Amino acid sequence: MSSVEPPLIASPGFMGSLRKYLRIFRVSLVERLAYRADFLLGTVLRFLPLVTSVLLWSAVYRGSGNDTIEGYTCRQVIAYLLLVHVSRMFSSMPGLASGIARDIREGTVKRYLVQPLDLQAHLLAYRAAHKFAYIVTSALPYGLLFWLMGGYFDWPREPWIWAAWLASLILGFFLGFLMEFVLGLLGFWFLEISSFLYLVNTVSFFLSGHLMPLDLFGGRMAMVLKELPFQYLAYFPATVILGRETPGAVMNGLLVEIAWCLVFLVVGRVALRLGLRRFSAFGG
């Protein structure tokens, strides 16, 4: 067994590093666009649960005998659930944490130690290309869906709300990436983390507001859930574009989201450094 240490490689400078990861982005984008039919089919299949959600919540409101629940009408809940799919389009990172853990377990992570590549920056460029390809490919079917269901929406007229929504989606991408990156690094300390990842992803599904608006949890529970970083993966962007947040709350939410990104960035860098000290590779 031989411990692998990063080689002494002269720094290429900021611009050189930027060009390197832009090339990785371009190559990854070409690779992903080769499977655009798969993207399109996956997008269409994701619409099927939306039909179930519309029928379910319509039945819930009919059964309750109330026009509103925790300040949401049935129409607003359905609009929210449609918008959550856009939020998750940016923030979800399927296979990222498990892929990192697998590379650590199998030793293939050593390529980031013997080549002038940063693990986090490489994966960020790769995921950015994946998201770009997915969003471009699914823009048409999503546009058609929102046009057909336009009666559920009261779109805001204020430009700042649209700008804040876009900012929250982009920050959601970074936050989702950084959270998954940290989870994947647990592979340095545990041989198998698939069960743990399943638990975390299940909890995140509920706490992010993917299933329903966090406000419907009511009272103190809703207040607690809104203090967690999970809300920025789905709930917060959707409520911004629905106009349910005041200008002050939107600005505060974006600042807190940036703070959470910085927290997970630092935790990820520290965990990577500590994990590499434990890492050993076998063979060539």
Helix, strand, coil percentages for the chain (3-state, nearest 5): 75, 5, 20
As a whole number, mean pLDDT of residues 77-98 equals 90
Tell me the whole-structure pTM to 2 decimals. Answer: 0.82
**Tens of pLDDT along 228-260?**
999 999 999 999 999 999 999 999 999 999 999
Mean pLDDT of 188-196: 89
- Yes or no: say if 80 and 168 are a contact pair by the CB < 8 Å rule: no
The arithmetic mean of pLDDT across residues 121-144, rounded, is 84
- What's the CA angle centered on 214, arms 208 and 216, to 5 degrees? 150
Give the range with max mean pLDDT: 102-116, 138-152, 231-245. 231-245
Q: Where are the domains of the chain?
A: 13-279
Confidence at residue 258, expressed as pLDDT on a 0 to 100 scale: 97
How remote is the C-alpha of 172 from its chain's centroid?
6
What pLDDT, in 10s, does the model give residues 22-57? 777 776 666 666 666 666 666 666 666 777 777 888
Q: Are 152 and 82 in contact, with CB atoms under 8 Å apart?
A: yes
DSSP tag of 160: H
Contact 70, 215 (CB under 8 A): yes
The tally of CA atoms less than 13 A away on the side-chain side of residue 259 is 9
